[in-house]
Amino acid sequence: MQLYSYFRSSASYRVRIALALKGLSYQTIGIHLVKGKHKEEPFISINPQTRVPALKTDNDEILIQSLAIIEWLDETHPQPPLLPTDPLMRARVREVAHIIAMDVHPLGNTGPRNYLLKQLNLDLETVDAWTRHWIEDGFSAVERMIDPAPYCFGAQPTLADICLVPQVFNARRYKVDMAKFPRIVAADAACQSNPAFAAAAPAAQPDAE
């Protein structure tokens, strides 16, 4: 498999965690977002949305969107499972994952931030404050929804942890006061001690700068 990725992309980070938890090998193809490589051929032919990640399967199929890729990985490589077997708990895990991946992360992503900076001419301090606001807004909900033991929903990492860890990485980049979120900090700490999460970390990637 080939993963089109950017080392600091939260969505790519999620897929890297899932691949590592599954013990799957893959080749990383770095797509430098800051240099605009996602807006150039040949990547446009790989993903017309011009975003990372994109995963090329062993059958040369291209998959995009991190949650779709992760669920495909879970269905095609079921061990270890990334979602609980109980339907209610599966929904609980997805609730947290969706808050992070669909509500929080998009508002602080590269595209919206660049629009605020370049089209609306806001200064960097204001845009960073915008990003922190939406991270804290989402984390306030997640903090009440998880009960680390030691992961978000028990003894094994799930899709919730896969989404949480990259967003905590972003939160620290933007200087969010993580002391407000002790449960999130605890779950993140458990993940950081897991070799799969360590292997997927931005600093460990071949395209890291």
Return the CATH number at 91: 1.20.1050.10
> Nearest 5°: phi and psi at 48?
-60, -20
Based on the fold, state whether residues 58 and 145 are members of the same structural domain: no
Claim to verify: residue 32 and residue 91 sit in the same structural domain: no
Residue 201 lies in a domain: no
Same domain, 10 and 58: yes
Question: Could you tell me the residue range of the domain that residue 174 belongs to?
Answer: 87-196
User: Looking at residues 129-156, what average pLDDT do you find?
Assistant: 97
Same domain, yes or no, for 146 and 69?
Answer: no
What average pLDDT does the chain have? 96
Looking at residue 169, its pLDDT comes to 98
Please write the tens of the pLDDT for every residue from 55-76: 999 999 999 999 999 999 999 9
Domain stop point among 80, 101, 133:
80
Assess whether 91 and 187 both reside in one domain: yes
Query: What is the mean pLDDT of the segment spanning 152-156?
Result: 97
User: Is the model's pLDDT at 110 over the cut of 90?
Assistant: no
Q: Is the pLDDT of residue 129 over 90?
A: yes
116 and 64 in one domain?
A: no
Residue 166 has pLDDT above 90, yes or no: yes
Are 71 and 103 found together in one domain? no
Last residue of a domain, one of 46, 80, 114: 80
Mean pLDDT of 7-15: 97
> How many domains does the chain fold into?
2
Is residue 206 included in any domain, yes or no?
no
Q: Are residues 147 and 169 in the same domain?
A: yes
Per-residue pLDDT, 111: 87
99 lies in the same domain as 164: yes
8: exposed, middle or buried (Cβ count in 10 Å: 0-12, 13-18, 19+): buried
Average pLDDT over residues 88-117: 95
CB-based contact 158:93 (threshold 8 Å): yes
> What CA–CA distances, in Å, run from 31 to 100, 193, 201, 205?
23, 28, 16, 12
Confidence label for 5 from pLDDT (cuts 50, 70 and 90): very high
- Provide the pLDDT for residue 168: 98
Of 50, 80, 110, the residue that ends a domain is 80
Question: pTM to 2 decimals?
Answer: 0.96
State residue 25's pLDDT score. 97
Distance CA 6, CA 163 (A): 16
